[in-house]
Amino acid sequence: MIVRTVDGQPVAEALTEARREIGTSSSERATRLLSYQRLITGEPDTPFKLGLARADGTPFEVTLTRRTVSTAPQFVANFLPSGYAYIKFNHFQTPVDKLVKEALVKFKDAPGLIIDLRANGGGDGELGLKIGGYFFNDKIPFANIVTRTGKPPSAFFGLYKLPKEFKAGKKGGQLYSQPVVVLINEGTGSTSELFAGAMQEQNRAQIIGTQSCGCVLGILNHKRLKDGGDLAISEIGFVTSKGRTLEGNGVTPDKTIAVTLADLQSQRDVALEEAEKYFKDLKGEISKVALCNFIISLQEI
């Protein structure tokens, strides 16, 4: 349905107020997401009224009750009806590295793998490196760090030095060698963007969806304020191994798939459909190459 009003207020006005309250963020996509979140946030068990329009245009009003939403890790791994493997998780948090590893061992013979990072806000960068390493048979450049001063970054009052270059993978460490598609959207942020960007630059995955959030912050220390507040300043920035700045820009898909109202109303996942089509087309290209090579070998005989 289409949202027309929020607690009796036209949605455009409500969004304008929400934007004014949260200010600007890393990107327009981040600002939009935070604005939507601000619209529905409130105390648990309080009512929330939406004025909606059905697909046929008729009005519909519903009163919802706010609930506390769990941020516990969620993980899905299965075979799609098409025979391709599918993995989706919402955070790079323990034990997702173990779960992905187990899934890749199970899926090792699948003709294609779809990793769904849509609405994955990121998490532990070390886990991102670890999971990225499962797709390579050697150590590869994953991302670089830049600082305001140009000096190597450090944490814990300078006691711990961070590397300026992150690498993933090791000799013989590849768990899955078949083609990969990574799905992203504007809710894909932080470590998810580092992962998608590295897989794209290493030509290890086709990226499908919409441009990611561009929310790749490097906060080393949170500072407590006298009034009980918390001050977080991004002290480091992340760029891809080829020098692309992710903060504010995000990852641009190899194939952009915009979500339409008609797709939502018909419950179509067009990005997922495009991923399956990519594998089928790739299989066809490989078959053509194999046939050409076979013909050439016959001619040589």
pLDDT per position as a tens digit, 211-267: 999 999 887 777 889 998 888 888 888 899 899 999 999 999 999 998 898 998 899
Is the pLDDT at 154 greater than 70? The verdict is no
pLDDT confidence bin for 188, thresholds 50/70/90: very high
Where do the domains of the chain lie?
Answer: 2-65, 75-279
Contact 300, 41 (CB under 8 A): no
Task: Give Cα separations from 158 to 129, 149, 152, 232 (angstroms).
Answer: 23, 14, 10, 18
The pTM of the full predicted model, rounded to 2 decimals, is 0.88
Is the pLDDT at 158 greater than 60? The verdict is no
Give me the mean pLDDT over the 261-274 stretch: 93
Q: Which residues, in sequence order, are bridge partners of residue 66? A: none
Q: How far apart are CA 173 and CA 52, in angstroms?
A: 51
- Fold category of 2-65 in CATH: Pdz3 Domain (2.30.42)
- Write out the two tokens for 263: 């797709």
Please return the burial class of 132, using the count of CB atoms within 10 Å of its CB with bins 0-12, 13-18 and 19+. Answer: buried
Would you tell me which CATH number, out of the four given (3.40.50.2300, 3.40.50.620, 3.90.870.10, 3.90.226.10), belongs to the domain 75-279?
3.90.226.10
- Write out the two tokens for 98: 């173990």
pLDDT confidence bin for 291, thresholds 50/70/90: very low
* Helix or strand run (H / E) with residue 244: none
Give the model's pLDDT for residue 292. Answer: 56
Backbone angles phi, psi at 4, to 5 degrees: -105, -40
pLDDT per position as a tens digit, 2-54: 999 999 999 999 999 999 998 888 899 999 999 999 998 999 999 999 999 99
- Residue identified by tokens 């304020």 is 225
Q: How far apart are CA 59 and CA 170, in angstroms?
A: 58
Provide the terminal-to-terminal Cα distance of the chain, rounded to the nearest Å.
65
Residue of 46, 60, 67, 65 lying closest to 5 (CA atoms): 60
- Write out the two tokens for 176: 């899955």
pLDDT per position as a tens digit, 192-218: 999 999 999 999 999 999 999 999 988
One-letter identity of residue 225:
L
Is the pLDDT at 160 greater than 60? The verdict is no
